[in-house]
A and B are shown apart, each in its own frame.
Chain A
Amino acid sequence: MASKSSRREFLKTTSLAALASGVALSAPTALAGSDSPVPFKKWKTQWKLGEIGNKMDILKAEATPAICPYCSMGCSIDLLTIGDRIIHSRGSSDSYINVGQLCPKGQAAFQLIENELRVLTPMIRTGPKPPVDEILNAKTWDELVNIVKKYPPNWRPVGWDEAFRYIAERLKSIYDRHRAETGAPRFEDGFYYRGNVTPLQMIGSSVMKNEEGYLDNKLAVFLGTNNFDSQYRKCHSSTVTALALTYGWGAETASIEDVALSSVVMFFSNPAEAHPLSFYYFLQAKERGATFIVCDPRFSRTATYADLWVPFRSGADTALLYYLLYYAFFERNPPIDQLAEFNDLMNRWNITREDLEDLKTVIREYDVNTVSRISGVPVEKLRKMAELYVENSGVTTNHRKHGIIQWAMGFTQHTNASVNIIRNAAIVQMLLGNVGYPGGGTHPFRGHSNVQGVTDVQFGPGGLPGYPAVPKSTLEIRVYQDWKLQGMPDAWEWEVPQWARDKPPFNAIKKPNKGEADLAKALRAWIFNGWRRMELTWGIFVGTDPETDPRNGRVITDLPIGAGSSETVWPRRALDGEIKAAFILGENPAVTNPNAKIIWSGLASLELLVVADLFETETAWFADVLLPAAAWAEKEGVFTDGNRVLQWSYKALEPKGLSRPDYWIYTKLFEYLRRAGVIILPSELAGKKVEKVRFVKRGKVLEIYDRALDPDASWNYRGGDGAAFPVSPVEAEVNPRLIAREINFAMLIYQGLWDPIRDEFTPERRGVNLREEHEIDGVFSKEFKIFKNWGCSWPKNVRLLYNLDSLKKVLGKTVKIVAAGREWEVTGETGEILDEFTGEYRPFAVPGHNFFIPKIFRRRLSGVADLFGGVDMNKLIKEGKAEVIGKFVIEEGGEPKAVSFEEFVAKTGMKYLWANDTLYIDDKAQEIAKGLVKRPFFSGKSYREAKASIDAFKRRFREAYNQTRDIARAVEAVIDEFGRWYPDYNFQWPIHTEPVEAPDMELQFEYPTIAWLHPHNLKVLFEQPDVVKTMPVGVAHDVSILDAVEGELVVMTSHRLTETFHSGAMTRNVPYLAEMVPEPYVQIPTKLANKIGVRSGDFVILETARGSLRMRAFVTEGTAYLNVNGKELPIVSLHWSFSFSGLVTGAQANFLNPDVVDVKTTIQESKAWVGKIRRG
């Protein structure tokens, strides 16, 4: 690695003269100065730099590094500009991620900026919208496109002021009606918005900067809606939930350079195409002798590096993973649970031997023949796969080797993705000892440049920035107020009030008393800590009035109550009239959502749709207002890459035309909506202007301070000083650096991105060196070659999550270092945090990072002071000055009393309280920080206890279907009889369940889909909106529905390519990329092609329960043609990044798939559905 980058360094940075001489050394002397071979003509021997491509002013250009806007690798691109002209772009040679290199999208990214198709002025629609029933009536793609094209937007260009006034006026009328109808935000028990009922849906993009996505969430809260979401819902929501509920955090567990240390990688994905730069590191692993197993029905460019290609049926992922465990427990000798290392690891998983027996009961059902029958993979291939993976894992090699499971959409987009598929991957990695060790881990690769960041800062309809859940009830607010009165304690210092202990969610806390804690209690303390951060940084109020009477006071909360609607379920809510307006910035759901007719009609049914984008996207076609957004390098801010590394992306040039960054748009929206009276906070209506911050100690009320509420001040991002000095006039108006400072305090996981003592933004660090042994995590960095001085990462600059003891297990040593004046003994990666005593950095998670840390934390100021010591947050964020206005509770002579900051510092020495809120990890925290191999997802019993019920349920389902020949009625009958789908089972272990559209009814009865556990899916099944009834927008839940359709039955799945990106808005409009992939196609196996008589390039017709479309076929042996349950079953894979608007266009694959969703996260099932194919 090191030698490689130094070679590149040499080649790229040596001066012209130095390399010219290098060439000259080997240049032929015979030719030097030789005469022209053509008479009377000067023979050209020298070219000027840039002469061929007319870039000769390149030497005058200025290079600015910006982070690539496409995938999540975090590659850095140098844009060489003169004024507003881009002369050249190249990979930044200093970046450890892309070492000067780029993929085709990164290399073409400059064409997103200089592009004739860009929208450069705000525009208001003058044309009528496509009517909803016409859209829903369309039977084919071509018909659908013809319908919407009949209703063009007929834009009227306007200025920003007019556009904002228009939006404010239209939204005001919708809000006025809503407030009049519901009385919101005035309710009997207080003042609040029901965030799921407010008729506004907000959607923020995954290519926004953190500062932009954060404002999206903030604006949603100020608008009283929890109906907000972003693209992450449709790509990795199932990953985030499954991993977060198993490990503590939903992110990729390790950083990219770590994959070079793996010994075996199991790809359920295609990073060679979706994340090309990752192969710089994957190939290093390959050179070290790593084995690559590629599980994919389509032979991808990743498969070209496979040692074993495993084409399998989409949707059979859980079964495939279970066979790894079957092999490990029942076929290998000795079984892994007889290994000493397994026993060591068990302590970290929170399971008993008894639990393990229950799990093994499930595993036993997935023997090689069963898994082969479900997945279509031949037995010999399965055996080879399991042997290669298990024998190269941590538990079987005593951590000499580790394996990685790598995935993307192939895993995530299923109705059972979170509960079964990804949960199983997480469990497999724990049981095989692969999580938290170098070269191991779970590696979900994120699709968008900042999808990790935007998920972090804008979690979605059930969460707030940094992941704390939104309040679900007024009871939660009351308990929160009580927690505040106890002095914002950590879980151990917190006493859950008696009056809440028997009520959900507090009844889940098994250790409610002071001095003890369990995971549920620790997580609740973390949520409350999160809400407090929002209150302080946004100048809002969440609590009761009076503050000292949490039980009976009026509830007043500016955080809306109740989880709202996600990206995938809101279109049907719009059709039902529940959602009336939407803001969609930087996203194109018209193409990325499943079941195009549903999303298009949802968009068309809105009273107000505001879209901001670079181009006139398919979504913009339905908009009332289209706002011109600035492109990736026309603004600045932080991107969090797929492995959680935060990097600063710099501004290379001014926005073109009237376009503006999203941070500017959100802030202006706030100002206009505020002035127009759309934004009215509950606290304002309640007349609450000041929070009286009080602590109660032994019945005594202590005055801490009075906090003036000033929500408008929190939206003032003008100016800025020091490291936050604005980079240009646009940023002087709305400064992302001030927003970044705010994020630093608003979100626990991002605390550390700004160092308030040194006024330094850590994402701006571009250190290319590994750490020295005496430094924090120095041995770790050096031994495992992890670049910890580049940017920062969450949490607390930890790069390999759950790395509790890798120094001990892999290197066989513990390490002692001195930091912040103390000695620390560590066994893994600790990360770092500013020390409250010295202001220097100290190790954070000592002895190493474990599961759920720092959701689990201790706080020295528990019961002593407000968060950050009670500093004036607005002043600290805007001016960088720490002014403590709160008091501190100390015990003197057995009596509690409140003292000033100065007195407190004199007594304790803690003088940098705002730098870290005095958080730390101790033995108590480590003790409950365990991974959850066992974790129920529904109410019910363990597998063995529920087995009889599950069997009875399956029998009844089959029987009811045989009676009615109708799946919907059979489902109804089962739910009526048992009270629930999958009665009794709590899904504490994953099980294989079929997709909603299973290709074989026998499998559907044997492994019924899990989908009917979610109300949205039942809505799709039973209660489609009126306008939808009798129209082909349903599901082929019974494959025999397709019997009447001509053609061969196939399982359909979808893929994208290196050269294309998601909805295609960012690639189909980029000339250099459009040139390489001018049209979509469906990849089909040769055997199927022969059967239906088509060759590569011929058209085929694909038909599903949603309609049909025509596409070219790409015929190859590299597509699965399987034998599933004794029957031949071809898989076809559609390239999905196309639609009707842009430089190149084509049929939209997401026209064909159903909008059924994952039962926990509502991600759509767009990787396994069924249909017929025929020559077209």
Chain B
Amino acid sequence: MVSLTFPRRDEGVAVLVRLDRCIGCRACQVACKEWNSLEYRPTEFSPTFTTPQDLEPNVWKVVFFGEITREYPTGFADPYVQPIPFNCVHCQTAPCARACPVGAIKVSDEGAVVIEGRECIGCGYCQEACPYNVPRQREDGTYTKCTFCVDRIQHGMEPACVAVCPTEVFEFGPASQVLASAEAERAAGKEVYGLNLDSYVGGSIRWVYSISKDKAHALKIRLPEKATVPFNFLREVLNPVIRYGAVLGAALLAVIGVIHEVKYRKERVKALKEATKEKGGKE
């Protein structure tokens, strides 16, 4: 475990993802690949339209599509599809960076959480630690993910996906300013995701989402209500115990680990099933 200092939530930069402005065009998904020179990989048909169906080593940003039913302003209840652009949310106190045993995950002054490929040893702790299931392993064994376009934001530019967006979904700026915007959205009656999260991620993330209340149930398609990985959380709490070799601690850890693993996998499967059910799937 690496002991890190993280910028405060009102320091550095942040992004407000205003889902009410999103037309689901996926320009962000392409702009990310273009700026970061991520190679093309063949994909398959997706029953949810999300393609590829989740993040991949060469796809750091994916737009998810979730079909729901919604009451329209004109009074008719009709189907509705909500696009959700998704990438690493850059947690306030990034658990992946805390979990990396070799300090390969850097946190910049701006709050960007960046995996340095050359230092990565491929252990996968970051992936396990991530409550959003973001880091992906490349063929060479190293892990990779969205860098917040750290090489752009440190030179006065917006992240590539922010700059390209035709409908200005993303409000990028100093964190204090973005937090204020998010609060304003909340005050205007919108659902805001990302400001009151578990202590595991530091209580908030730097990619904050806002959406009208009548569409808010679409968020769960890719954004978990609980931003935590209980096993890792406990491991961190119990870390001193382990370090001093308490057998009890180890045993407890193992038990919790097993319980967590089982429960976690069940939840993931359930969540995935729910997501596909929306598309008319029957298991």
> Who on chain A is nearest to B56 by CB?
A1075
Q: Mark A58-95, 1 if CB is under 8 A from B, else 0.
A: 00000000000000000000000000000011110000
Task: Please judge, given known A-B contacts A37-B2, A54-B37, A1114-B47, whether A23 and B279 are in contact too, CB under 8 Å.
Answer: no
Q: Would you call A1033 an interface residue if the criterion is a C-beta within 8 Å of the partner chain's C-beta atoms?
A: no
Contact A304 B82, beta carbon cutoff 8 Å: yes
Contact B47 A1116, beta carbon cutoff 8 Å: no
Q: Mark A22-38, 1 if CB is under 8 A from B, else 0.
A: 11011110111010111
Task: Please judge, given known A-B contacts A38-B2, A103-B25, A304-B83, whether A277 and B166 are in contact too, CB under 8 Å.
Answer: yes
Contact B47 A1097, beta carbon cutoff 8 Å: yes
Give the chain B neighbours of A727 by CB distance below 8 A. none
Q: Would you call A1025 an interface residue if the criterion is a C-beta within 8 Å of the partner chain's C-beta atoms?
A: no
Contact A384 B279, beta carbon cutoff 8 Å: no
Partner of A28, one of B7, B24, B38: B7
Contact A50 B74, beta carbon cutoff 8 Å: no
A50 CA to B116 CA, complexed, in Å: 15
CB contact list, A1076-1090 vs B, under 8 A: 1076-1079, 1081, 1086, 1089-1090
Contact A1116 B79, beta carbon cutoff 8 Å: yes
Contact B166 A280, beta carbon cutoff 8 Å: yes
Q: Would you call A759 an interface residue if the criterion is a C-beta within 8 Å of the partner chain's C-beta atoms?
A: no
> Who on chain B is nearest to A380 by CB?
B76
Q: Would you call B23 an interface residue if the criterion is a C-beta within 8 Å of the partner chain's C-beta atoms?
A: yes
Q: Which of B100-108, B131-139, B190-198, B225-233 contacts A (4 or more CB under 8 A)?
A: B100-108
Give the chain A neighbours of B49 by CB distance below 8 A. 1114
Contact A306 B72, beta carbon cutoff 8 Å: yes
Q: Would you call A150 an interface residue if the criterion is a C-beta within 8 Å of the partner chain's C-beta atoms?
A: no
Contact A1095 B281, beta carbon cutoff 8 Å: yes
A740 CA to B102 CA, complexed, in Å: 63
> Who on chain B is nearest to A44 by CB?
B106
Contact A32 B109, beta carbon cutoff 8 Å: yes
Main secondary structure of the interface of B (DSSP, over half): loop
Q: Would you call B235 an interface residue if the criterion is a C-beta within 8 Å of the partner chain's C-beta atoms?
A: no
Give the chain A neighbours of B156 by CB distance below 8 A. 14-20, 22-23
Partner of A1076, one of B7, B26, B280: B26
> Who on chain B is nearest to A271 by CB?
B23
Q: Would you call B199 an interface residue if the criterion is a C-beta within 8 Å of the partner chain's C-beta atoms?
A: no
Give the chain B neighbours of A20 by CB distance below 8 A. 154-156
Q: Would you call A708 an interface residue if the criterion is a C-beta within 8 Å of the partner chain's C-beta atoms?
A: no
Q: Would you call B174 an interface residue if the criterion is a C-beta within 8 Å of the partner chain's C-beta atoms?
A: yes
CB contact list, B126-171 vs A, under 8 A: 147, 149-158, 163-168
Give the chain B neighbours of A22 by CB distance below 8 A. 156, 174
A14 CA to B81 CA, complexed, in Å: 37
Contact A1095 B282, beta carbon cutoff 8 Å: yes
Q: Would you call B57 an interface residue if the criterion is a C-beta within 8 Å of the partner chain's C-beta atoms?
A: no
Q: Would you call A811 an interface residue if the criterion is a C-beta within 8 Å of the partner chain's C-beta atoms?
A: no
Q: Would you call A53 an interface residue if the criterion is a C-beta within 8 Å of the partner chain's C-beta atoms?
A: yes
Partner of A309, one of B27, B43, B72, B109: B72
A102 CA to B149 CA, complexed, in Å: 18
Give the chain B neighbours of A45 by CB distance below 8 A. 106, 108-109
Shortest A1111–chain B CB gap in Å is 10
Contact B47 A301, beta carbon cutoff 8 Å: no
Give the chain B neighbours of A47 by CB distance below 8 A. 108, 114, 147, 150-151, 154
Give the chain B neighbours of A1072 by CB distance below 8 A. 30, 33-34, 40
CB contact list, B82-115 vs A, under 8 A: 82-83, 102-103, 106, 108-110, 114
Contact A34 B52, beta carbon cutoff 8 Å: no
Contact B13 A283, beta carbon cutoff 8 Å: no
CB contact list, A85-118 vs B, under 8 A: 88-91, 98, 100-104, 106-108, 110
Q: Would you call A43 an interface residue if the criterion is a C-beta within 8 Å of the partner chain's C-beta atoms?
A: yes
Give the chain A neighbours of B34 by CB distance below 8 A. 53, 88-89, 107-108, 110, 1072
> Who on chain B is nearest to A305 by CB?
B23
Q: Would you call A669 an interface residue if the criterion is a C-beta within 8 Å of the partner chain's C-beta atoms?
A: no
A1095 CA to B278 CA, complexed, in Å: 11
Contact A276 B67, beta carbon cutoff 8 Å: no
Task: Please judge, given known A-B contacts A53-B35, A108-B30, whether A46 and B154 are in contact too, CB under 8 Å.
Answer: yes
> Who on chain A is nearest to B74 by CB?
A308
Q: Would you call B48 an interface residue if the criterion is a C-beta within 8 Å of the partner chain's C-beta atoms?
A: yes
Task: Please judge, given known A-B contacts A53-B37, A102-B31, A1075-B43, whether A304 and B151 are in contact too, CB under 8 Å.
Answer: no
Q: Would you call B73 an interface residue if the criterion is a C-beta within 8 Å of the partner chain's C-beta atoms?
A: yes
Contact A107 B31, beta carbon cutoff 8 Å: yes
Task: Please judge, given known A-B contacts A28-B109, A308-B72, whether A37 and B103 are in contact too, CB under 8 Å.
Answer: yes
Give the chain B neighbours of A101 by CB distance below 8 A. 27, 163-166, 168
A1174 CA to B131 CA, complexed, in Å: 42
Give the chain A neighbours of B150 by CB distance below 8 A. 47, 52
A88 CA to B29 CA, complexed, in Å: 16
Pairs of residues from A and B, 10 with the lowest C-beta to C-beta distance, nearest first: A19-B156, A38-B103, A1071-B40, A1096-B47, A53-B37, A28-B7, A1117-B79, A47-B151, A1097-B47, A53-B36
Q: What is A's interface to B at a CB cutoff of 8 Å?
A: 4, 11-12, 14-20, 22-23, 25-28, 30-32, 34, 36-38, 41, 43-55, 88-91, 98, 100-104, 106-108, 110, 272-273, 276-277, 279-280, 283, 299, 301-309, 381, 384, 388, 1058-1059, 1071-1079, 1081, 1086, 1089-1090, 1095-1097, 1112, 1114-1118, 1144
**With contacts A90-B164, A1114-B47 known, what are 20 further pairs, Cβ within 8 A?**
A11-B163, A16-B155, A17-B156, A27-B7, A37-B2, A41-B103, A51-B151, A52-B147, A53-B38, A101-B164, A102-B27, A102-B166, A299-B81, A301-B25, A388-B74, A1059-B26, A1072-B40, A1076-B43, A1078-B51, A1116-B280
21 of the cross-chain contacts (CB-CB < 8 Å) are A11-B157, A11-B158, A19-B156, A26-B13, A26-B175, A26-B176, A28-B11, A37-B2, A49-B154, A52-B149, A55-B35, A55-B37, A104-B30, A273-B23, A276-B23, A276-B166, A309-B76, A384-B76, A1075-B52, A1112-B45, A1117-B67
